[in-house]
Amino acid sequence: MYRTKVGVDLAKNIIQVCTLNGKKVTSNVEMSVDEFSAWLAKSKPLTVAFEACSTSNYWYQRAIEAGHDARLISAKLVKAVRQNQKTDKNDALAIAQ
């Protein structure tokens, strides 16, 4: 059984959240900071990956507190995995992969 993986691209006001179930993208949506915080709290345990940046440690700790398996991913690794132009959606997908 696959564990659901979530790739999160953080920005100041908008957070892009890409959900993978196995190798299939089930959603790739933007959320506000408040929506993402509520989503983290109510979601079942997930593997949540964040691209390392200035705010990633805060969200990493919030995900751990909510019972998720949180990971920080190097920006260089995300760049190597990203297949198309640099957009929030593509970054979130690369982080999840």
Of 80, 79, 15, 81, the closest CA to residue 48 belongs to: 15
Average pLDDT value over all residues in the chain: 86
The string of pLDDT tens digits covering residues 34-61 is 999 999 999 999 999 998 888 889 999 9
Number of domains in the chain: 1
pLDDT of residue 29: 92
Quote the tokens at residue 39: 């989503």
* pLDDT at 90 (0 to 100): 73
Q: What is the CATH number of the domain that holds 63?
A: 3.30.420.10
If you average pLDDT over residues 13-24, what whole number do you get?
A: 89
3-state secondary structure the chain: CCCCEEEEEECCCEEEEEEEECCEEEEEEEEEHHHHHHHHHHCCCCEEEEECCCCHHHHHHHHHHCCCEEEEECHHHHHHHCCCCCCHHHHHHHHHC
92 pLDDT above the threshold of 50: yes
Instruction: Give the domain range for residue 20.
Output: 5-96
Q: Structure pTM?
A: 0.86
